Amino acid sequence: MKTKNRKPLPKKAKSNPATSTSEEASDKLQLAFLSTDLMQDWMEFNDALEAAIKTGKDRAELPLAFLKRVQYEISGTPHRFDAVTEEWNRVCDREGRPEEKKNTPGPEEGGAGEGGSDGPF
């Protein structure tokens, strides 16, 4: 059985749960989440994608573990991606059908939106 090379996560000083602050609890939760197999697969996927982009490649060789877990969501709901919805809206404008346009959710609505992100993703 192949053992995955896991990304090292930042080390946090151990804290006393009785005196733990909300921020420390959030950090501990975030680290626990990032330590899961799914998020390790996500980080490996993103690292491979970034490496391909940095080297100017037109195609990327990506690890499939993460993609296999989200394939249905990716292939079944393309409007989940802001870029796809924005393209749809441009086609609606071009074809004279603005009433068919879809809203692009902002960060507070679960979409990528513009600008920063909350957490590691």
pTM of the shown model? 0.61
Count of domains observed in the chain: 2
Residue 59 is given by DSSP the state: S
SS3 52: helix
Domain annotation covers residue 85: yes
Domain annotation covers residue 3: no
Residues 108 and 82 in one domain: yes
Domain annotation covers residue 10: no
Q: Range with the lowest mean pLDDT among 13-22, 34-43, 66-75, 86-95?
A: 13-22
Domain annotation covers residue 7: no
Domain annotation covers residue 57: yes
Mind listing the pLDDT tens digit for each residue in 47-78?
A: 999 999 999 999 999 999 999 999 998 888 88
Q: DSSP letter string over 62-110? A: --HHHHHHHHHHHHH-GGGSHHHHHHHHHHHHHTT-GGG------GGGT
Q: How many residues does the chain have?
A: 121
Rounded to the nearest 10°, the torsion over CA 36, 120, 6, 29 is -40
Domain holding 30, by residue range, is: 22-61
Domain annotation covers residue 106: yes
